[in-house]
Structure 1
Amino acid sequence: MTARRRAPKATALAAATAGYAALLSGCGSVPAGTGADTDPITVMTWAPQRAEASNMPGMPAMGQAYARWFNARGGINGRELEVLTCDERNDSVGAARCADRAVEEEVVAVVGSYSQHGRSFMSALEGAGIPYLGGYGVTEEEYTSPLSYPVNGGQPVLAAANGRQLAAEECSRVSLVRPDTITGDQLPPLLDAGLRDGGAPQAAPATDVRAPESATSYQQTAQRALEGALGAAPALGGTGLSGTGRSCVTAMLGGHTDTFLDSFRRAEAAGESVRTASVLGSVRQSLVDRTGGADSPLEGTYVTSWYPPADDPRWDTMREAVREHAFGDNRIDPDDPGAQTTWIAYTALRAALEQLDPGRTVTAEALRTVLDEGEALETGGLTPKLRWHYEDLLSAHDYPRLVNTHATYQRVRNGQVSTLPEGPDGFVDVEKSLENKRDG
């Protein structure tokens, strides 16, 4: 695969470009990590590790495992990689403290990290000129900040691609079950864009079913979703269109998706066949195994992902690194999308470092130059080649920094999350759907 070249709209990128110029004219020109050429290359990975929800301890653990694996192979130009970690605690104060520590430690990048508090950490990184490479993809700032270099398409790509996947299954009546949050509010127009562009019968908007982020049972939510999918939605405020096509329900509730699907299977009417779907982070192989394998409520579910499925050979190097340098570390689940994102982010970091002159001191500024102007970065086929040149950025005002608009289609069959062959190397490009999203 080669890097895509685009001609983004000037209006979509004017603010980001102006911001970038301002940053580089300020303290972004001050090099970080200016040590001798034999000093370690210091980066940081953060994620919530001891929070009440959204804990992602596998991401910092994967960063450290990658460093051990990388250093055991000689590092780069005789220099080792040092990974600092920080517990972001899933709150704005914790995120700001992690960013402040990254500045104090003069790291050359924050790599493969997770935080829902972009407003709290991004300004500190921008002020110090530190790139944010490979965030998980859950905040607006990750797709708008000129110092952010996302390796995946975040929730926008997952939602749009999920709509495309359901359209391919001829879903004419769709219920979307999503969190009743500000983040959840962004999902319906993205799913609808995918349904339209995928040629779904009648291209009807999905019935929007709001749900609590966490619950022990979703019986009422499941009933509303079922009624919407079967065409009884007018009483619920949905479209309720009838006609040809299938009835489908897609759930995007993160770690509580399996709880919802269990409730949904119980509520599903006898004799009615309703297809179920979800996205990466809500369904993965370890979850299918834990909830009954072939007897899991996830059986038959369609899954939209950023990456190839866990059993794809393209993950073999990551699994080898985990076996050699993180054996027994139960924080790392190789099937977890957080750990996978961290691995990909570090792979991209290594590819960028290899483009630097061996005699040049590695600084945040030098790394930014490679990311902004260098050759596209290989990730072992786990993503398309990554590059953040101006012409690669997305012509969509909500997320101009999004350069990877690819997704994969999978399905749980016989207790296994298996890939569905779509597009070159299994990837589907939803760039058009993202640019054609209708708000409001």
Structure 2
Amino acid sequence: MTDQISRRRRLGGLATASVLLLSLTACGGGDDGKDDFAKPKQNADVTFSGDPIKVMTFTPYDTDTINFKAALDVADGAKVAINNAGGINGHEVVVVPCNEGADPNKAADCARKAVDEGVSAVVGGFSANGDTILPILEKAGISWIAPPVISAAELSSKFSYPIVPGVIAQAGLGAKAAEDGCDKVANVMYDLPSSGSVKELGNVGLASQGHAPATVVPVPPTTTDFSSIAQEISDYDCAIMSIPSGPLTGVAAAGASLGSKTKYYAFPGTLTDSAISQAGGALDSAVTMSPFPPSGDAVWDDAKKIVGDMSSEENGGWSYMSYQSTWVGYQLLAEVLKDSTDVSAAGVKAAFDAASAVDGLGFTPELSFTQEFPAPGMNRIFNTKVMFHDIKDGALHQDGDYVDLGASLTPAS
């Protein structure tokens, strides 16, 4: 028992130290340059029996670095779908959008706007500024449903309700590489102070299969020519890629030109349809993991009908995890509150705190928000089940059934 507690505390410490580096794997999206998604239409004939439930979705756009404005199209489409079905127990959903600008000050402004607007919850969206946002939401008693899980606060705050596995995915990738028979494994990551912690999480996964630790291949954050990185990892069977989509594509393309046979294990959210297309076949042997079915699965058909297929969205459209998580977050909000009469911020939190057998609606296995993950600093991870995705015919496809990442955190006996 003492060993288990010690290991859980150590894992929690590794997770807290890792979020900065892993947050960078979710950044670096280009300006999507698109405002032409089909805008969903709400049926004016639908009537509602209760007061509206107001929620906020924020995301960065019109910046020089990351632009994920399509998250607002997804939120708007989810709102219309729910309202056209009668709302949430008769309450019309109203979405308050906010541009958090990839800036902690603007993110704080969005959080304060959520308080001023009296929203009942924040749902989905994207921000790398969760440590700024959540203290403001907490003070006002506002929950964040389906956050992207790239800040320490999202992993620990009692007002955070993630539906993705967060940093423990790093251990899952290590375990998968070992299971696949990889001999020499590299862990490619940005050269930052938190790199050591990310390396350790990957090594925990490798150790769960009795494998030796990976060799870290550091990437300076300012790197634009990835030839030397590709050359270095070409001596390895496999590489865990803890870097954003752009560098992932750059390394793969450079590796292909060298004739490299290295297999890539991409961190969730980085191996998108657009990355696969841009790599021109260089990522065809790569694998990744996700808590959700791939974007080509029929479970996304209703979302595509109302929002559009987003095939021209440069961040990956429906294959981008934060867009998926935003849609699913709204569906779970409606599912958890379907019998609720109190849709205030306090009512939303109470309903989620009591939700022990939530239907994942085909997007995830059954979820429970009543049982926290038994590791300090990672306690708000509620979904440890993922499926692996590989590439067929230039698109992501499901490879096998769900697996529980909890096993990748347990050393081999």
**TM-score (normalizing by structure 1):** 0.77
Is 1:252 matched up with 2:242? yes
Identify unmatched segments of 5+ residues in structure 1.
Answer: 1-7, 17-35, 230-246
In the aligned structure 2, how far is the partner of 1:259 from the partner of 1:179?
A: 14
Pairing partner for 1:46 from 43, 46, 58 = 58
Q: Equivalent residue for 1:420?
A: 399
- 1:271-298: CA deviations, max 9, x gaps? xx43222132221223323443xxx211
Q: What's the % identity of the aligned pairs?
A: 27
In the aligned structure 2, how far is the partner of 1:126 from the partner of 1:37?
A: 29
Secondary structure of residue in 2 paired with 1:334 = helix
Q: How many residues align?
A: 371
C-alpha displacement at 1:319, in angstroms?
2.1
Q: Equivalent residue for 1:84?
A: 96
Secondary structure of residue in 1 paired with 2:183 = strand
C-alpha displacement at 1:255, in angstroms?
2.0
Contact 1:62 1:332 in 2 (8 A): no
Select between 108-117 and 372-381 the one with higher mean Cα deviation. Answer: 372-381
Change (3 A) 1:121 1:393: same
Larger Rg: 1
- 1:127-153: CA deviations, max 9, x gaps? 000001100111111110011111111
In the aligned structure 2, how far is the partner of 1:182 from the partner of 1:135?
A: 25
Quick one: which amino acid aligns to residue 88 of structure 2?
I
Q: Equivalent residue for 1:385?
A: 366
Q: Equivalent residue for 2:208?
A: 197
Change (3 A) 1:317 1:10: farther
Change (3 A) 1:395 1:375: closer
Change (3 A) 1:185 1:51: farther
Secondary structure of residue in 2 paired with 1:123 = helix
In the aligned structure 1, how far is the partner of 2:138 from the partner of 2:177?
A: 39
Q: Equivalent residue for 1:128?
A: 140
Quick one: which amino acid aligns to residue 173 of structure 1?
K
Q: Equivalent residue for 1:237?
A: none
C-alpha displacement at 1:166, in angstroms?
0.7
Q: Equivalent residue for 2:384?
A: 405
Secondary structure of residue in 2 paired with 1:113 = coil
Quick one: which amino acid aligns to residue 212 of structure 2?
A
Pairing partner for 2:191 from 180, 197, 210 = 180
Identify unmatched segments of 5+ residues in structure 2.
Answer: 13-47
Q: Equivalent residue for 1:163?
A: 174
Is 1:365 matched up with 2:373? no
- 1:180-210: CA deviations, max 9, x gaps? 23565432112111112134xxx11111112
Q: Equivalent residue for 1:107?
A: 119
In the aligned structure 1, how far is the partner of 2:160 from the partner of 2:398?
A: 30
Change (3 A) 1:393 1:9: farther
Select between 60-69 and 337-346 the one with higher mean Cα deviation. Answer: 60-69
Quick one: which amino acid aligns to residue 220 of structure 2?
P
Contact 1:132 1:148 in 2 (8 A): yes
C-alpha displacement at 1:332, in angstroms?
8.6
In the aligned structure 1, how far is the partner of 2:112 from the partner of 2:49?
A: 25
In the aligned structure 2, how far is the partner of 1:299 from the partner of 1:171?
A: 17
Is 1:349 matched up with 2:333? yes
